[in-house]
Structure 1
Amino acid sequence: MADFVDQVVLHIRAGDGGNGCASVHREKFKPLGGPDGGNGGRGGDVILEVDPNTATLLDYHRRPHRKADNGKQGQGSNREGANGADVVLPVPNGTVVKDAKTGEVLIDLVGMGTRYVIAQGGHGGLGNAALANSKRKAPGFALLGEPGDALDVMLELKSVADVALVGFPSAGKSSLIAALSAARPKIADYPFTTLIPNLGVVTAGETVFTVADVPGLIPGASQGKGLGHEFLRHVERCDMLVHVIDCATMEPGRDPITDYEVIEAELHAYGKLEDRPRMVVLNKADVPDARELADIVRADLQERGLKVFTVSAATHEGLRELTFAMGEWVAAARAARPVEEPTRLVLRPKQLGAATFAVRKVNDNLFQVTGEKPERWIRQTDFTNDEAVGYLADRLERLGVEEELVKAGATAGAEVVIGSMDDGYIFDWQPTLNAESINSGPRGTDNRLG
């Protein structure tokens, strides 16, 4: 079983709003107590929150379906239903949230404590007490709660470290991070021993920083070869890149200069990393031939403006100088940037019930009505209750839907779809259903629906 997951598809659903209650107050000696049905509770939200104690997306790999609680139904005596509990999902710092279907980036979660409402709970339905007015004094119906948001998102973790170690497979990056810190990654003498980034905490005097051991890169990594995209995204947030070069490799066509140029070409092709400072570590100096080769190529690398360190992860030679050099760069980078704070999210929710709607003539006998208000009203209507259906007809008439249908050429008996053509609500339109005919029948009925 994997113990590190940096990409996962999460299926989330916010809670549905509770239904409103249709109730009439009943009390001795008060035969006309009036409506007292309470409103339904709001459904719970699904919230992503950056948590310093979370380092992987493993929990969501094992349990990818998450749902918030529904709101409770309203009750008589003007008692409102309880709101559904929110579900807060902790994610690591540096998590990118994308739409699983389109790939659109929804939010980049950086900064401890940052919160983002990824799925909003549905609104609770109004009880009949809230629906009463001077003309409809005792409604025999209530509105249904609205469904909560449901969507699939992809969570993608980009490691947040100060220094990234990059290089070919088996260059000694895992051995180096094990020698510099308390991290204990898997170390073996074969390519791609490291398949997940390992993070280590390194101390250089008063500077404490993190180092990421990025899995080995090969030619073509920027195009995804050898899981290159999965590995390279962990480099994006690092402040500094350290090339770890194997000076003891016996592979044909490989030498320190060529290795450096190949990895640099892949980093350049991947993009977003041009401004990162670089240094070079010539590793495995404990091997005699490797030390000689390191002495030969040092001048060439320094002429390119690079700081070069000859080290041995096995004997710890040169590690102190390397550690303090990295610490000096990290301290300078931290001093130059503002203090990291939780991302300030400005929420601009849509206005509920925006008045815009559209009527489209599909054919001579079929018309489609789309718009936030009409579609929302359809979701709120209990179609088993005639009075509720009459109330919907009144709302649509006041909005101007009937007038627009007439302009579009609709006649009595024409089919009208409110919403999408696939799953919208279909009914036979009768223009005689208008707000001028006030219901005077028993509660729960509407005399216009005969």
Structure 2
Amino acid sequence: MTMFVDRVVLHLQAGDGGHGCVSIRREKFKPFGGPDGGNGGHGGSVSLVVDPQVHTLLDFHFRPHVKAENGKGGAGSNRDGANGADLVLKVPNGTVVQAMDGTVLADLVGAGTTFQAARGGRGGRGNAALANTRRKAPGFAELGEPGERRDVILELKSVADVGLVGFPSAGKSSLISVISAAKPKIADYPFTTLVPNLGVVRVDEYTFTVADVPGLIPGAAAGKGLGLEFLRHIERCAVLVHVVDAATMEPGRDPLADIDAIEAELAAYGGLADRPRIVALNKVDIPDGRDLAEIVRPDIEARGLRVFEISAVTREGLRELTYALAELVEQARAAAPAPEPTRIVIRPPAVDDAGFTIEQAPDGAYVVKGPRPERWVRQTNFDNDEAVGYLADRLARLGVEEELAKLGAEPGDLVRIGDREFDWQPTLYAGMDFVPGARGTDYRLVEKPSRPTAAERLAARKARRQRPPEEAEPEAVEVTDAADEDGE
């Protein structure tokens, strides 16, 4: 049995970036030829693209978890890792992408329209790319940045020019089957149509699409019956057609009451009050239906609605109805605003934009927020002291240390960047030149006995100079003993 799915929750995961490589070139007669670690490849992104050949979200219903390919790690000899392949998901025309809180992220209308739903992570730089005049052979490389994870809701809103609305068994499916090539299910019981049907109608040089949605009943906008699930499929329609059963035998039913009930549901759903309406009194091939149509037609026209008496069986009145629909559709298209050309807007950062902000959390921690500091933390290998020192230098150059000092941060205070927490030690961010030690280490992070500072050494030297002569330490005199020279 064919399923129609028009709403799914999709769990997207972009590819992670590959790690950079730590490598030193070693050749004969060149035991230390310099760093040659390659960069990691970027992770693949997840994009949604409109494909005219796709009409339902069924594939995502069975496979809601989607993951793009990871980037490959770098290698020695300056070999960069391969980028992960981007994952392109084909969606129907009219798909609306929403965040889990209901925020609309994209409205995909038109073949080829593309939306990048999850961005792949950046690849980490190898030690060859991190080398400079002070750090000639880095003993570390950057980690690949994790790809973006996101949960989104996909909703399909059919893109049609004309929407057929009415009670169950009013003849909507029969009507769309005779004015277009659509082949919906037709039977003599209510709720035969369980999914929206689309058909293309051609009238002379005019072409437009018609949507047939499942029958509406009182309370549909509040979730009764099938109406709430499919009312969104007529949101984009430029014209609405009330298909009314003029030969119904149900008690309490008549064309005017049916129109009032459907209009009440459309008003409760909202957003459709400005669409032009046409009334199609169907089943006039039945004598009772024709008589009732002739009786109620003046009352309907008194409401300002155009009325057409039709029969989907004998095709009576269909030519006039389709010409009227084509006229209204062309008027709606002419009144629609012209699409604006694509404009590229460049917004340079403000002169006083530091690229980060620092706020104090309720627990007393200083929280550093900004795309660059957070990305640097994600790319740092905290098992490598040299990489941690490099991170400290980058944050110091960005001005994080200076801003923390202005906010009153003291050594040992908790600083949080992204998902990492640190005890702030200003001595790490003194801006000193890097002095290489053992590979993978930073001398500023190695625990060692405290040494007097330059100021303390200068003060001690001055104190020794100012001592009285009697307190001066005797000079060391080298004494040579002859017996010692003889070894006795």
Partner of 1:87: 87
Q: Distance in 2 between matches of 1:31 and 1:112?
A: 59
Q: Distance in 2 between matches of 1:19 and 1:357?
A: 28
DSSP 3-state at the match of 1:118: strand
DSSP 3-state at the match of 1:432: helix
Partner of 1:48: 48
Kindly state the Cα deviation for residue 392 of structure 1 after the two structures are TM-superposed.
Answer: 1.2
Q: Distance in 1 between matches of 2:17 and 2:345?
A: 21
Partner of 1:158: 157
For 1:330-409, what aligned pairs fall within 5 Å after superposition? 330-337=329-336, 344=342, 355-360=355-360, 362-363=362-363, 366-409=365-408
Kindly state the Cα deviation for residue 239 of structure 1 after the two structures are TM-superposed.
Answer: 1.7
Kindly state the Cα deviation for residue 268 of structure 1 after the two structures are TM-superposed.
Answer: 2.6
Partner of 1:73: 73
Does the CA-based 8 Å contact 2:358-2:366 persist in structure 1?
no
Q: Using CA pairs under 8 Å that are at least 6 residues apart, name the structure with larger relative contact order, 1 or 2.
A: 1
For 1:86-165, what aligned pairs fall within 5 Å after superposition? 86-99=86-99, 101-165=100-164
Change (3 A) 1:348 1:267: farther
For residues 132-177 of structure 1, give each alpha carbon's deviation from its aligned partner in whole angstroms, at most 9, with x where no partner exists: 1111111011101111111011111111112111011111111211
DSSP 3-state at the match of 2:210: strand
Query: Taking every aligned residue pair, what percent have the same amino acid on both sides?
Result: 66
Partner of 1:259: 258
Partner of 1:223: 222
Partner of 2:421: 426
Does the CA-based 8 Å contact 1:359-1:408 persist in structure 2?
no
TM-score (norm 2): 0.84
Q: Distance in 2 between matches of 1:250 and 1:348?
A: 65
Change (3 A) 1:374 1:97: same
Partner of 1:203: 202
Does the CA-based 8 Å contact 1:170-1:216 persist in structure 2?
yes
For residues 410-429 of structure 1, give each alpha carbon's deviation from its aligned partner in whole angstroms, at most 9, with x where no partner exists: 4433333222xxxx212333
Kindly state the Cα deviation for residue 233 of structure 1 after the two structures are TM-superposed.
Answer: 0.9
Q: Distance in 1 between matches of 2:435 and 2:287?
A: 99
Kindly state the Cα deviation for residue 287 of structure 1 after the two structures are TM-superposed.
Answer: 2.0
Kindly state the Cα deviation for residue 361 of structure 1 after the two structures are TM-superposed.
Answer: 5.5
Which residue type is aligned with residue 268 of structure 1? A
Change (3 A) 1:311 1:359: closer
Partner of 1:438: 434
Q: Distance in 2 between matches of 1:56 and 1:142?
A: 45
Which residue type is aligned with residue 449 of structure 1? L
Change (3 A) 1:350 1:378: farther
Kindly state the Cα deviation for residue 344 of structure 1 after the two structures are TM-superposed.
Answer: 4.7
For residues 395-423 of structure 1, give each alpha carbon's deviation from its aligned partner in whole angstroms, at most 9, with x where no partner exists: 2222233333344444433333222xxxx
Partner of 1:242: 241
DSSP 3-state at the match of 1:199: strand
Which residue type is aligned with residue 34 of structure 2? G
DSSP 3-state at the match of 2:428: coil
Q: Distance in 2 between matches of 1:301 and 1:361?
A: 65
Which residue type is aligned with residue 357 of structure 1? T
Which residue type is aligned with residue 420 of structure 2? Y
Partner of 1:27: 27
Does the CA-based 8 Å contact 1:354-1:372 persist in structure 2?
no
Q: Distance in 1 between matches of 2:379 and 2:354?
A: 16
For residues 417-448 of structure 1, give each alpha carbon's deviation from its aligned partner in whole angstroms, at most 9, with x where no partner exists: 222xxxx2123333221331623202211122
Partner of 1:57: 57
For residues 213-233 of structure 1, give each alpha carbon's deviation from its aligned partner in whole angstroms, at most 9, with x where no partner exists: 111112232333324332211
DSSP 3-state at the match of 1:122: coil
Change (3 A) 1:279 1:184: same
Partner of 2:166: 167
Which residue type is aligned with residue 413 of structure 1? G
Q: Distance in 1 between matches of 2:91 and 2:187?
A: 31
TM-score (norm 1): 0.91
Q: Distance in 1 between matches of 2:216 and 2:346?
A: 42
Kindly state the Cα deviation for residue 337 of structure 1 after the two structures are TM-superposed.
Answer: 4.2
In angstroms, what is the RMSD of aligned CA positions?
2.4
Partner of 1:9: 9
Gaps of at least 5 residues in structure 1 are: none
- The number of equivalent residue pairs is 442
Q: Distance in 2 between matches of 1:372 and 1:29?
A: 45
DSSP 3-state at the match of 2:194: coil
Does the CA-based 8 Å contact 1:140-1:443 persist in structure 2?
yes
Q: Distance in 2 between matches of 1:374 and 1:355?
A: 9
Partner of 2:482: none
Bigger Rg, which one: 2
Gaps of at least 5 residues in structure 2 are: 447-488
Q: Which moved more, 1:321-330 or 1:48-57?
A: 321-330
Which residue type is aligned with residue 103 of structure 2? E
Partner of 1:178: 177
Change (3 A) 1:357 1:312: same
For residues 294-337 of structure 1, give each alpha carbon's deviation from its aligned partner in whole angstroms, at most 9, with x where no partner exists: 00011111222222111122232222332333233334444554
Kindly state the Cα deviation for residue 60 of structure 1 after the two structures are TM-superposed.
Answer: 1.0
DSSP 3-state at the match of 1:433: helix
Change (3 A) 1:409 1:332: closer
Q: Which moved more, 1:432-441 or 1:297-306?
A: 432-441
DSSP 3-state at the match of 1:226: coil
Which residue type is aligned with residue 93 of structure 1? N
Q: Distance in 1 between matches of 2:3 and 2:346?
A: 38
Change (3 A) 1:92 1:62: same
